[in-house]
Amino acid sequence: MATVIFLVTKFTAGAWVVVLAVPAFTTLFARIHRYYQQARQILGLGTIPGKPRTEPAVVVVPVAGVSRLAQRAISEALSISAHVIAVTVLTGYANPDTGRDRELQEQWNRWNPGPPLVVLHTEYASVAGPILAFLDQLREQRTEQIVVLIPVAVPDRLRYTFLHDHLDLVLTAALRSRPDIVSARVPVPLHLPGRGHDTSTRDLSLPRPRG
C-alpha cells in the first residue's frame, strides 16, 4: 500500500511527464527511423541505378508579351527542346477579344521568335488558373515530358521585389504535387540605374525580328 501511495504521489508531483514523454519520444524516433529506411530503399540510395534515359519534352513558357524577359526564357526553352509553346493570359475577358488578340499575335509575328504564342482568356485577375488548365489539356494531348519555364525579373534592390507579380511562386506551388510536370524559374537580373544616371541612351527597343 505504501508503494502505491508513493507512486501516486510522485506521479501527481510531475513524474507523469517522464511516464508519458519517454514512450512518446521512443515511438516518434522509431517511426522517423523507419521512414528514412523506407525512403532510402525507394530512392535507391547506396545502390547503382539504371542508365539515364533521354525522353522528348515540350516546354511551356508563360509570358506577358514581347519583351527581353520573354526572349531570355524562350532562349532557355529552345536549349532544352525544339518543341516550345509560349502562353499568355488576357484578364478581364471570359471570351476572346478580337482586337487585343490580333494586336498580340501581330506583335509576336513581327518578333518571330520561332515558338507559337497561345493566347488564353479569363474574366478574373489571376492568370495562374488558365495556365494550369492549359497544362492539363496539354497533358491529355501529349505524351512528352512537360517542362514549364517561368521568366522572373529579379531587381537588384530588394525593396522593389514586391512590385512585381509572383506568378512563379503560384505556379510552382500548384505544380509541386505534379510529378508529370517539371517547373523551373528563369531569373532575369533587373539592374536599375542609380540616381542621376542618364537612361535616355539605353536601347529599350524590342528584339528585332529575324530576317
What angle (nearest 5°) sits at the alpha carbon of residue 73, between those of residues 72 and 74? 95
Q: What is the pLDDT of residues 72-105, one digit of tens each?
A: 999 999 999 999 999 998 887 656 666 888 888 9
Measured between alpha carbons, how far is 65 from 206 in angstroms, rounded to an integer? Answer: 11
Contact between 122 and 152 under an 8 Å Cβ cutoff? The reply is: no
Q: Cell numbers 536601347 correspond to what residue?
A: 203
Please tell me the predicted confidence (pLDDT) of residue 108: 94
Better pLDDT: 17 or 179: 179
Sign of the torsion formed by the C-alpha atoms of 196, 200, 206 and 208: negative
Residues with Cβ within 8 Å of 208's Cβ and at least 6 positions away in sequence, in order, are none
Better pLDDT: 41 or 191: 41
Sign of the torsion formed by the C-alpha atoms of 122, 149, 188 and 109: negative
* Architecture (CATH level 2) of domain 57-190: 3-Layer(aba) Sandwich (3.40)
pTM of model > 0.85: no
What is the percent of the chain with per-residue pLDDT over 90, rounded to a whole number? Answer: 39
CA distances in angstroms from 126 to 36, 121, 130, 164, listed in the order given: 39, 10, 8, 14
Model confidence at 172: pLDDT above 90: no
Please tell me the predicted confidence (pLDDT) of residue 128: 86
Residues 188-208: what's their mean pLDDT? 55
